[in-house]
Amino acid sequence: MQLESVIGLEIHVQLKTKSKMFCPCPNIFGDVPPNSAICPICLGYPGTLPVPNAQAITWTQRVGAALNCQLAKESKFDRKSYFYPDLPKAYQISQYDKPFCGPGRLLGVGITRVHLEEDAAKNIHPNGASYTLVDYNRAGTPLMEIVTEPDIRSPEQAKKFLQELQKIMRALDVSAADMEKGQLRCDANISLREPGSHQLNPKTEIKNLNSFRNVERALQYEIKRQACTGYVSGLQSTTRFDADAGITIEMRSKEEAADYRYFPEPDIPPFVFTSDQLKQIVVDLPELPYAKQDRLRRQYGLSGQHALLLAANPLLADFFENTVSELQQLDNEQSDINPEDIKTLVLRATNIILKELRDIITKEKITVAKLKVTPANFAEVIVLLHHGQMNKNALPQVLNAMQKTGGDPDHILQNLGLEQVSDVGDLEKIIREVINENTDVINKVKTGKTSALQFLVGQVMAKTQGKANPQVVTDLFKKMILG
């Protein structure tokens, strides 16, 4: 019998505020030595009082607005009690019945809530050791939790949902949301049921999945395991995913809310927000990735894949749109650039941005903001290629030189001696030399062998050190050989 998957996600996002959630310690976990960014407040010393981070609260509300959530007019923090060495207070300040954000929806998946809490410390288990080390730098850092409804029906849908959520976090600039660095962590809950049934069976929670691929793999394995062992049997359990073995391993029975003994945080007063404050949060939202993707596709005629790639990186999308603006300005200033040319130039610019320019960003491990190649100079590169003044083979070398010096492409082409030769008179002399040196190949061209023509073009490119315009050379060969 074919069973239906019922999947819900609990997603934790580390917010990149400057300070921690309830104290002034810097939020720099992973960048400094262990236990060097701590204070009596985040270590839970007696007599200390927490002070909420206003930026973290605002960012949580922004995320809620982006996920179409109801923003709460009244909210509060709660104490969540449990005893692990990564929580020095033996409780966590979290939210229970009055989160900052209520029901919402993304990609057809219901959002139950978005709430804010403090993160726990990092447990480190040295290989072969009988002890555990604890780095408290992470204790008290702002952690936003997004809880979905059990609306997801496949591992592939879960992966797609998380990828879209990551794009939104980056577009809002609230978190880098890098799963491998633990900035975005996912717990997946899954159970099976018969198609058409509305019953929710005992679920398995898979903890701390750290990549999109592992989310998909863990859920795929758990579907097979539950189908084989009896999908309605047993108690709810908490497991971890062994990525090397590709299996889930049970850790403990699943806790219920009563196990945490929630009660209102006595040291932090409740929050009250006005309707105008909440409306302003929605008004201030930037263009979100799915809206940007659709607009880029419609406005510039981009393919769905190109629009997707640009929308996933807001700064790269801005670079693209600024480049197009520069190209459109050339349409007004240069008589040899017309509206029909602009469409071709935009397509070429898109391809180069997503290939050569991203290669530079990846190789140098920088962000788009650190590029020395400006949209204006990049637009000049596109025009030079269009006019045949630069060979496409010279493109990587020119862009790398521009990134090093921040110079304009005209001067770099001259300095590197890479200007493309399109002058017919200069090229005809070289072509005649090649014809005289390759009479047997000329005869093959005359019999219709196009591959022989490409050989001749290659000879000219070699003699000109790659500077000849290959299209001009091809046309001249056809004219001089075939008439």
Domain boundaries defined on the chain:
4-283, 289-416, 424-482
3-state secondary structure of 201: coil
Residue 376 vs residues 174, 338, 397: alpha-carbon distances, Å? 29, 18, 18
Q: Is the dihedral of CA 28, 30, 36, 41 positive or negative?
A: positive
At residue 416, the pLDDT reads 67
- For 212, the token pair is 């999109």
Residue closest to 157 by CA, chosen among 10, 8, 303:
8
* Fold entry, domain 424-482: Arc Repressor Mutant, subunit A (1.10.10)
Dist CA 476 CA 275 (whole Å) = 72
At residue 424, the pLDDT reads 61
At residue 420, the pLDDT reads 55
Given a contact cutoff of 8 angstroms between Cβ atoms, the answer to whether 27 and 20 are in contact is yes
* DSSP classification of residue 451: H
- For 311, the token pair is 């929308």
Dist CA 60 CA 71 (whole Å) = 10
At residue 276, the pLDDT reads 97
- For 407, the token pair is 């110079």
At residue 336, the pLDDT reads 66
At residue 331, the pLDDT reads 59
The pTM for the full model equals: 0.81
Q: Are strands 263-264 and 271-272 parallel, antiparallel or unpaired?
A: unpaired
Given a contact cutoff of 8 angstroms between Cβ atoms, the answer to whether 438 and 406 are in contact is no
Residue closest to 374 by CA, chosen among 322, 426, 325:
322
Residue by residue, pLDDT tens for the chain (483 residues) are 689 999 999 999 999 999 999 999 999 988 899 999 999 999 999 999 999 999 999 999 999 999 999 999 999 999 999 888 898 899 999 999 999 999 999 999 999 999 999 999 999 999 999 999 999 999 999 999 999 999 999 999 999 999 999 999 999 999 999 999 999 999 999 999 999 898 888 899 999 999 999 999 999 999 999 998 877 766 788 899 999 999 999 886 655 656 789 999 999 999 999 999 999 999 999 999 999 999 999 999 999 999 999 999 989 999 999 999 999 887 565 556 777 788 899 999 999 999 999 999 999 999 999 999 999 999 999 998 887 777 787 888 889 999 998 888 888 877 766 565 555 666 777 878 877 888 777 777 777 776 777 887 778 777 776 667 777 777 777 777 766
